[in-house]
Amino acid sequence: MSFKRPLILVSNDDGIAAPGLHHLVSLMREFGEVVVVAPDSPQSGMGHAITVGDTLRLEKVNIFDGLLAYECSGTPADCVKLAKHYVLKDRTPDLVVSGINHGSNSSVSVLYSGTMSAAIEAAIEGLPAIGFSLCDYSHEADFSHTFDWIRKIVRQALEQGIPKHVALNVNFPHSKHAPLKGIRWCRQAKARWQENFDERYDPTGRRYFWLIGDFINEDTGDDTDVWALEHGYVSIVPCKFDMTDYDALRSLRSWQLD
């Protein structure tokens, strides 16, 4: 890092015009050369979707004051794939960051998160990766209390490195909790969304639904991301993409399958 400026790839899931992305791009320019590849429209809740069986568009945009930037018709995971294998080609980014997401990606939301799917895709590719999210869904959210914490985290990531195939899931409390108390390394809380569906009828009389949900946290541990966020701390969960449940692997061998 001391000899050449790091190359940082930035993506997100709220789309190329989202305020959270523009804040993250500005911060990353303090650290190195920045390339942006982001969805051309909001992709919240896309999980680790990729575009198969359909085409992808990728177009240069000039909305970041001279930076090389593209909008992509695909998902956040598509953006990272296209960035690595088409836009950057022979150049390997020193860091991939995604966000800042407008909304929490703590606990089980990591599975539904387009923001984290970009980071996890990068981790699969062997690249150091961080997803940043703010617990405020508003388009006009105040991100300013996150900036110094992002700088600290990115500085450590560039200096110390992130273990290979690990993506960091960083969440910030809402600005009403500012100033934040510090950073906590956490495990993913065992919480979930309790779903409900709002049933309505369109102008032609055909039924449709809106998904609504309440976040239910049954995990009382003080080492979880949900605990940290509720108590005014930045949470960082290191995530891996090996979903094997090794405990279950041992217990399930008792099945009679021959």
Site for its own copies, residues 2 to 31, rule: CB under 8 A? none
Q: Using CA atoms, how far apart are residues 34 and 116, in angstroms rounded to an integer?
A: 19
| Closest CB 60 distance from its own copies, rounded Å | 11
In the window 65-104, what residues touch its own copies (CB under 8 A)? Answer: 75, 77-78, 81-82, 84-86
Q: Using CA atoms, how far apart are residues 132 and 21, in angstroms rounded to an integer?
A: 10
Task: Kindly state whether residue 185 participates in binding its own copies, applying the rule CB under 8 A.
Answer: yes
Please pick, from the candidates 179, 204, 210, 214, the single residue that binds its own copies as defined by CB under 8 A.
210
In the window 138-167, what residues touch its own copies (CB under 8 A)? Answer: 152-153, 156, 160, 162-163, 166
Q: CB atoms < 10 A from the CB of 88, how many?
A: 16
Please pick, from the candidates 2, 65, 140, 207, the single residue that binds its own copies as defined by CB under 8 A.
207
Q: Using CA atoms, how far apart are residues 41 and 39, in angstroms rounded to an integer?
A: 5
Q: Cβ neighbours of residue 245 under 8 Å, at least 6 residues apart?
A: none
Task: Kindly state whether residue 51 participates in binding its own copies, applying the rule CB under 8 A.
Answer: yes
Please pick, from the candidates 7, 49, 67, 158, the single residue that binds its own copies as defined by CB under 8 A.
49
| Closest CB 76 distance from its own copies, rounded Å | 10
Q: CB atoms < 10 A from the CB of 165, how many?
A: 18
Residue 61 or 183 having the CB closest to its own copies: 183
Residue 10 or 106 having the CB closest to its own copies: 106
**Is 12 assigned to a binding site?**
no
Task: Kindly state whether residue 181 participates in binding its own copies, applying the rule CB under 8 A.
Answer: no
CB-based contact 56:73 (threshold 8 Å): yes
Residue 30 or 245 having the CB closest to its own copies: 245
**Is 14 assigned to a binding site?**
yes
DSSP letter, residue 80: H
Dihedral sign computed on CA atoms, order 138, 16, 50, 161: negative
For 218, list phi and psi in degrees, rounded to 5: -100, 10
Residue 176 or 181 having the CB closest to its own copies: 181
Q: Using CA atoms, how far apart are residues 9 and 28, in angstroms rounded to an integer?
A: 9
CB-based contact 11:37 (threshold 8 Å): yes
Binding positions for a divalent metal cation are 13-14, 44, 101
